[in-house]
Amino acid sequence: MGPLAGFRIIEMAGIGPAPFAASLLADMGAEVIRVDRREAADLGLPGREAKFDVLHRGRRSLAVDVKAEAGREVVKRLAAKADALIEGFRPGVMERLGLGPDELLKANPKLVFGRMTGFGQEGPLAQAAGHDINYIALAGVLHAIGRKGEAPVPPLNLIGDFGGGGMFLAFGVVCALLETQKSGKGQVVDAAMVDGSAYLMALMYGMFSQGTWADERGANPIDGGAPWYDVYQTKDGKWLAVGAIEARFYQELLERLGLAGKDLPKQHDRKGWPVLRQQFAQVIGQRTREEWERVFEGSDACVAPVLSLGEVEHHPHNKVRGTFQRRDGVLQPAPAPRFSRTPPEDGSPPRPRGADSAAVLGDWGFSQAEIAALTKAGVAGAG
């Protein structure tokens, strides 16, 4: 099931964006094999049970020692039968292992080789270490997020790792797979988090060039600068998200707040924004979030409760849509987007490192004798 059913993809285990891309592909039905290290990797995080590694769901784990020649041969044999391989190492690492695209495309000319890095395969920073916050800083994203007159605010690692990284890698791999169906040739996909993060800012860069986006935080219509696109605290200390951009939605917001007909500044009068913000804050602070939810129910005022992580699965809309699910007691988002004819099935829960080594090798053409030899030599096996 799923629109990518039938595609076979190798994921060289890493952290952040590459596993996210692999998760997207697996959720859509592709058979993704995660090639884990034989030894536990230093992820900068405390150890945890496999079931909590939500980004590892939907695929089996094969643990291989790629520092050993026999281990590298395992990867080569897998890649020879795969449609795509994705990796998230610094430029040159796969080449030094003898597993670079030139080597693997010789054995499989149709292979799509997806590469995920922070700064790209070339350039002055190509070999530099970094994390999400560094990549979005270089792309101009971090500068744009935060309150007016205050420091930039890191938006979790949603923009660099996942939006500008993993999603662009998955998109690039699928695009290349589609092209391969026509040409019969594979290719390399160079996905860089700086590039992807910059792309996510396309609207803002267009407005900045036009002169309609101020190059400062909290001074624009959709960065918290406008009072009708912001969050407000309710009487019980919770929050409402207000996003009434269009005139008709803004008018309904005023009506539901009891401010229609009041002598207020015009919606787009920037000099009057402080007055509007003060009025909105004062009124919204007089009722609880639940009371405001009832007030705005069924309206087009573009107001929503700011739900906590512990609340999201209980919201009526999320429940009807099945936006969240629990697997083995672990809260996580359901696969997205939805498909009318080829809906993806719920994949398997995250697997412990190397738990499926023997089964994967057997399914991909290794003999029992070869599997036994690799296991005995410590080249492949459970983590």
pLDDT for 167:
98
Q: What are phi and psi of 327, to 5 degrees?
A: -120, 120
Task: Examine the domain organization and report whether 276 and 370 are in the same domain.
Answer: no
Same domain, 29 and 93: yes
Q: Is residue 57 part of a domain?
A: yes
Asked if 206 and 30 touch (Cβ cutoff 8 Å), the reply is no
Residue 36 within any structural domain of the chain? yes
Q: Beta strand 60-64 with 31-37: parallel, antiparallel or unpaired?
A: parallel
378, pLDDT greater than 90: yes
Are 273 and 249 members of one domain? yes
Domain assignment present for 131? yes
Instruction: Identify the pLDDT of residue 157.
Output: 97
Looking up residue 64, the CATH number of its domain turns out to be: 3.40.50.10540
Across the chain, mean pLDDT equals 96
Please say which residue of 286, 316, 346 terminates a domain: 316
Does residue 46 have a pLDDT over 60? no
Does one domain contain both 260 and 187? no
Say if residue 72 is in the same domain as residue 111.
yes
- The pLDDT assigned to 183 comes to 98
**Quick one: average pLDDT of 301-311?**
98
Q: Please tell me whether residues 150 and 297 are part of one structural domain.
A: no
In a domain, 340, yes or no: yes
Catalytic-role residue among 36, 65, 161, 230 = 161
Report the alpha-carbon angle 199-201-206, nearest 5. Answer: 105
Q: What is the pLDDT of residue 383?
A: 65
Please tell me whether residues 293 and 365 are part of one structural domain.
no
- Is there a domain that residue 124 lies in? yes
Cis peptide bond upstream of 350, omega within 30: no
- Select from 11, 16, 17 the least CA-distant residue to 37: 11
Containing structural domain, residue 36: 8-200+325-381
Q: Which of 291, 316, 341 is the last residue of a domain?
A: 316
Structure-block tokens of residue 353: 């490192």
Can you give the pLDDT at residue 344? 86
Q: Which of 310, 343, 350, 353 minimizes the C-alpha distance to 327?
A: 350
Phi then psi for 188, rounded to 5 degrees? -100, 135
45 has pLDDT over 80: no
Indicate whether 191 and 65 sit together in one domain.
yes
| 115 and 80 within one domain | yes
**CA nearest to 58, candidates 170, 163, 157, 147:** 170
Q: Which of 287, 316, 345 finishes a domain?
A: 316
Report pTM.
0.95
Query: pLDDT tens, 50-84?
Result: 999 999 999 999 999 999 999 999 999 999 999 99
Catalytic residue, candidates 131, 143, 300, 315:
131
Which pLDDT band, with edges at 50, 70 and 90, does 47 fall under?
low
Predicted confidence at residue 347, as pLDDT, reads 82
Q: Rounded to an integer, what distance in angstroms lies between the CA atom of residue 364 and that of residue 94?
A: 22
Q: What is the mean pLDDT of residues 28-50?
A: 80
Is 161 catalytic? The answer is yes
| 3-class SS string, the chain | CCCCCCCEEEEECCCCHHHHHHHHHHHCCCEEEEEEECCCCCCCCCCCCHHHCHHHCCCEEEEECCCCHHHHHHHHHHHHHCCEEEECCCCCHHHHCCCCHHHHHHHCCCCEEEEEECCCCCCCCCCCCCCHHHHHHHCCCHHHCCCCCCCCCCCCCHHHHHHHHHHHHHHHHHHHHHHHHHHCCCEEEEEEHHHHHHHHCHHHHHHHHHCCCCCCCCCCCCCCCCCCEEEEECCCCCEEEEECCCHHHHHHHHHHHCCCCCCCCCCCCHHHHHHHHHHHHHHHCCCCHHHHHHHHCCCCCCEEECCCCCCHHHCHHHHHHCCEEEECCEEEECCCCCCCCCCCCCCCCCCCCCCCHHHHHHHCCCCHHHHHHHHHCCCEECC
Q: Are residues 171 and 265 in the same domain?
A: no
Looking at the fold, whether 287 and 357 belong to one and the same domain comes out as no
pLDDT, tens only, 128-165: 999 999 999 999 999 999 999 999 999 999 999 999 99
Q: What is the pLDDT of residues 93-136, one digit of tens each?
A: 999 999 999 999 999 999 999 999 999 999 999 999 999 999 99
Please state the domain count of the chain: 2
Identify whether residues 20 and 100 lie together within a single domain.
yes
48: confidence class by pLDDT, cuts 50, 70, 90: confident
**Is residue 43 scored above 80 in pLDDT?**
no
Catalytic residue at 263?
no
Residue 206 within a domain: no
> Any idea what the CATH number is for the domain that residue 262 is in?
3.30.1540.10
216-253 pLDDT tens trace: 999 999 999 999 999 999 999 999 999 999 999 999 99
pLDDT score for 234: 98
Question: Which of 88, 91, 169, 86 has its CA nearest to residue 128?
Answer: 91
